[in-house]
Amino acid sequence: MNNTILSNQEVTTNANESLTNAAEFIQLAKEGYSFQTRQILQTIVSGEQQRLREEQTMWRLGGAVIGACLGLGDGLQITDAFLGIAFSGIASLSYEAMSHEDRKFLEQCQSLWLIGDNSPVELSQRLGPAKSRILMYEKDWSTPMIFNHHRGVRGDFLVPLGLAGELAKGFSSLKSREVLERHINLSDIEILQNQLYPCTNETFEIKEITEIKNEDAKRFSPYANSFLRETEPVIISNRNNSAIAYRVPVPTHSDF
């Protein structure tokens, strides 16, 4: 992390600096929905199972016609392998909890990205659950940034949040996008694309997060006044550097 606490002298000369877009990012951090993996997974699984049932019925009807023409007793059959999948893993959204058949089903319907590598589900299992959302800003950044603070057995990590439409594999893959559009209407897909999603390749480990008083935040950051009304100031430290940041809780409607 390149951020360093500004010296008192720097703050004195820039004490009145403010950010015109800070309020917008604070509201997004406090109220923005995280990507709704659980609902999408349930919708796709249900829709794909129904589609397979309908295809199976069509094959059986067609097979019966062909069988009658050829003098065969039974119609053609297709496998029932995926139609009875219980998907017990949906409840916990755990890749490990899903059976081989569950994962194979998701892979075949181009939806394994929902729980696979670098998905919000896999990230939470690897780094621990998101404990809060963190806002940070430095003078050479064009806008504030929003992070998730994850805590688990490996330690504490910050993961930047962006938009699902730009980061989630399901929107960039033509085959996965086709499945989404098969079961979710376009207006809802647009909503999903604008939900928060982790940018996992920018994840970094931190040593600690320490609460500080508003007065201390103002001493160390010329931008503190733009954030303090609706956030809790903290110092984020790693081995070499520290930075002022602003913490808000993860909203109750979101997983991260």
> Tens of pLDDT along 160-175?
999 999 999 999 999 9
Enter the DSSP assignment of 34: B
For residue 70, the tally of other CB atoms under 10 A from its CB is 7
pLDDT of residue 240: 84
Assign 4 a pLDDT band (cuts: 50, 70, 90). Answer: very low
Q: What is the mean pLDDT of residues 220-225?
A: 93
The Cα 114–Cα 198 span in angstroms is 13
pLDDT of residue 151: 96
Of 101 and 233, the one with more pLDDT: 233
Q: What is the mean pLDDT of residues 184-211?
A: 96
Which amino acid does the sequence have at 51? R
Task: Dump pLDDT digits (tens) for 104-130.
Answer: 888 888 999 999 889 999 999 999 999
The H-assigned helical ranges of the chain are 8-13, 22-31, 37-70, 89-92, 100-108, 120-127, 164-167, 169-172, 174-183, 186-193, 214-220
Tell me the two tokens of residue 109: 């319907």
pTM of the model: 0.80
The Cα 174–Cα 181 span in angstroms is 10
